Amino acid sequence: MPSVLIYDTTLRDGTQREGISLSLEDKLKVTKLLDDFGVAYIEGGWPGSNPKDAHYFEAVRKLDLKCAKVAAFGATTRVGVKPADDENIQMLVDSQAPVVTVVGKTWALHVHEVLRTDKEDNCNLIHDSLAYLKGLGREVVYDAEHFFDGYKDDAEYAILTLKAALQGGADWLTLCDTNGGTMYWEVERIVGEVIAALPAGTKIGIHTHNDGEQGVANSLAAIRVGAGMVQGTINGYGERCGNANLCSIIPDLELKMGYTCLPEGKLKQITNIARTVAEIANLPPDHHLAYVGRSAFAHKGGIHVAAMRRTAKSYQHIEPELVGNEMRVLISDLSGRGNILSKAEQFGMDVSNDAARQVLEQIKHLENLGYAFEGAEASVAIMLKRAQPDYQAPFELIDFMTVVESRQGRGLLAEATVKLSIGGEVMHTAAEGNGPVNALDLALRKAIAPAFPRINEFHLADYKVRILDSYNGSSAITRVLVDTQNGTHRWSTVGAAGNIIEASWRALIDSIEYGLLLAH
């Protein structure tokens, strides 16, 4: 199988995304992750731009990397300055990185307006910078900035800059779509023309941005016509609209195009890599990313799920396990009986067709009233359990009451009373809380704990409220989602009503009943 080398620039280009700031320790964690994942190159940063990146290259030398080469990034020498006297070039040397990546100008617009020099001098800057670094024994990657815009403006000059880089000793020529506006058919044509214009065996890389939503497509187009290295970032992180997303490119190459990018068996790590890097970057994972998103193999439509119960290939382009992900069946008013049966199987329940139909009708009715079961699978599990003829609920509600009042010297006070029947015995308890929902939760637990002490291990982990029809003002329908946790196990339940206390109560009851079911 042909191979493509993966050059990861999450730690440099990826950190230019708005909202990302990685500490030195964060960058080292990501480095170890990527090395274990099996990428060929890890671009650690620009040592000439800030002290943190300079310190990274000192620290990374202490890591025992098994697979990846670490690259330091910088620019060609300044106009009128020799490489040996250029501070930025010397920072690349001092980094002791085995690979140096040097960015230079391709587009005449940048040569004249940014560098304020002429075309010939720019070619000399490229040649001399790379020759100096190559002479020190470094592997040199040349990033041809704005290459596609430059090529469309003046193809002859764009090729001249690449030849200057080759004559300077570049090991790789990376063609960059820096503004991210080139279309994939242009990339395919231009990369083909570049390869034809350069000496045979010239190693070409591709570096694309996603401003036209073409980052992945442009990378694949370049590889189709001969590029042997692809630069990108985990989750597509990067400035403006981001860089080409390696979490899509890698499985596309390995599973769709027949290329090898990673050591054998490593592709299954890609979902974990995507989510772990998001966690380190303190960003919420994008559930809708291809391949690695939580929703990438989530099925909601009843017709889809019915077909997939016969063959999973009917609505999935790959097996989720190939990329370390999993198939999920969602429950909503768009569900069919197959969704319910699949969910029951997931919960280990044997549910009849009649019971599944009954639960489905109940779900459709409740969603019309404001419930949403996609994010509240524990409520679905309890509905399925209650539909079984031999099921005995652990407790039965008789009544509850909440009071919120302002008391002199104590401020606002919430109190709740709960009356339950447990095994024929009536439990009547009261509790105070910092609000009516908290008081209800405490009173409910107090009533249940003597019979089911495991409830003391349950913790209310999250409580979300959404107003569904705000035009009705204070009489609007309120949806409440409750997350409960017991150790590492976490589950979600839902309630909805015109009264926020009632909605909260329904979510709490489902939460505790489900937790007791798990603990049984």
Q: What is the 3-state secondary structure of 50-65?
A: CHHHHHHHHHHCCCCC
CA angle 157, 163, 166 (to 5 degrees): 150
Rounded mean pLDDT, 26-47: 96
303 vs 279 pLDDT, higher one: 279
Tell me, yes or no, whether 310 and 260 share the same domain.
no
Rounded mean pLDDT, 261-273: 96
Q: Is 324 left (phi over 0), alpha (psi -120 to 50) or beta?
A: left
Helix, strand, coil tally for the chain in percent (to 5): 45, 20, 35
Number of other CB atoms surrounding residue 410 within 10 Å = 9
Q: Which residues contact 153 (CB under 8 A, 6 or more apart)?
A: 107, 108, 109
Tell me, yes or no, whether 216 and 332 share the same domain.
no
Q: What is the CA radius of gyration of the chain?
A: 30
Digit-coded pLDDT (tens) for 141-196: 999 999 999 999 999 999 999 999 999 999 999 999 999 999 999 999 999 999 99
Chosen domain end from 364, 386, 408? 386
Please report which helix (H) or strand (E) contains residue 160, including its range: helix 155-167
Residue 291 in domain? no
The CA-based dihedral angle spanning residues 255, 258, 259, 265, taken in that order and rounded to the nearest 10 degrees: 50
Per-residue pLDDT, 517: 80
Question: In this structure, what token pair is assigned to residue 403?
Answer: 């009071």
What letter represents residue 325's amino acid? N
Of 229-243, 389-403, 432-446, the range with the highest mean pLDDT is 229-243
Per-residue pLDDT, 374: 66
What letter represents residue 236's amino acid? G
Residue 78 in domain? yes
Half-sphere exposure of 156 (CA within 13 A, CB side): 2
Total count of domains within the chain: 3
The strand pairing partners of 401, in sequence order, are: 417
Tell me, yes or no, whether 77 and 123 share the same domain.
yes
Tell me, yes or no, whether 435 and 312 share the same domain.
no
The strand pairing partners of 459, in sequence order, are: 485
Residue 113 in domain? yes
Tell me, yes or no, whether 335 and 240 share the same domain.
no
State the DSSP code for 257.
S
Tell me, yes or no, whether 155 and 48 share the same domain.
yes
Cα–Cα distance, 416 to 414 (Å, whole number):
7
Per-residue pLDDT, 481: 84
Per-residue pLDDT, 342: 60
For residues 494 and 371, the answer to whether their CB atoms sit within 8 Å is: yes
197 vs 464 pLDDT, higher one: 197
Residue 475 predicted with pLDDT over 60 = no
Chosen domain end from 280, 313, 336? 280
CATH of the domain at 76: 3.20.20.70
Structural domain of residue 25, as residue ranges?
5-280
Tell me, yes or no, whether 378 and 435 share the same domain.
no
Give percent of the chain above pLDDT 70: 85
For residues 57 and 27, the answer to whether their CB atoms sit within 8 Å is: no
Per-residue pLDDT, 443: 92
CATH of the domain at 462: 3.30.160.270
Per-residue pLDDT, 369: 63
Pairing between β-strand 69-75 and β-strand 99-105 as defined by DSSP bridges: parallel
Question: In this structure, what token pair is assigned to residue 71?
Answer: 């690259």
Please report which helix (H) or strand (E) contains residue 417, including its range: strand 411-422
For residues 2 and 22, the answer to whether their CB atoms sit within 8 Å is: no
Residue 391 in domain? no
Answer positive or negative: Cα dihedral of 331, 337, 339, 345.
positive
Question: In this structure, what token pair is assigned to residue 358?
Answer: 């009954």
Per-residue pLDDT, 77: 95
Per-residue pLDDT, 150: 97
Average per-residue pLDDT for the chain: 88
Residue 469 predicted with pLDDT over 80 = no
In 158-169, which positions are buried (b, 16+ CB within 10 angstroms) versus exposed (e)? bbbbbbbbbebb
Per-residue pLDDT, 94: 95
For residues 392 and 415, the answer to whether their CB atoms sit within 8 Å is: no
Q: Which residue has the tokens 């009451």?
A: 401
Q: Which residue has the tokens 């020529």?
A: 173
Residue 333 predicted with pLDDT over 50 = no
Residue 16 in domain? yes
Tell me, yes or no, whether 404 and 382 share the same domain.
no
Tell me, yes or no, whether 501 and 453 share the same domain.
yes
Tell me, yes or no, whether 170 and 276 share the same domain.
yes
For residue 483, name the pLDDT band (cuts at 50, 70, 90): confident
For residue 50, name the pLDDT band (cuts at 50, 70, 90): confident
Residue 500 in domain? yes
Residue 337 predicted with pLDDT over 60 = no
CA 142, chain centre distance (Å): 29
Residue 37 in domain? yes
Tell me, yes or no, whether 117 and 191 share the same domain.
yes
Residue 202 in domain? yes
Cα–Cα distance, 263 to 307 (Å, whole number):
35
Per-residue pLDDT, 89: 96
Tell me, yes or no, whether 276 and 307 share the same domain.
no
Chosen domain end from 344, 361, 386? 386
- E-strand ranges in 195-327 read 204-208, 229-232, 298-299
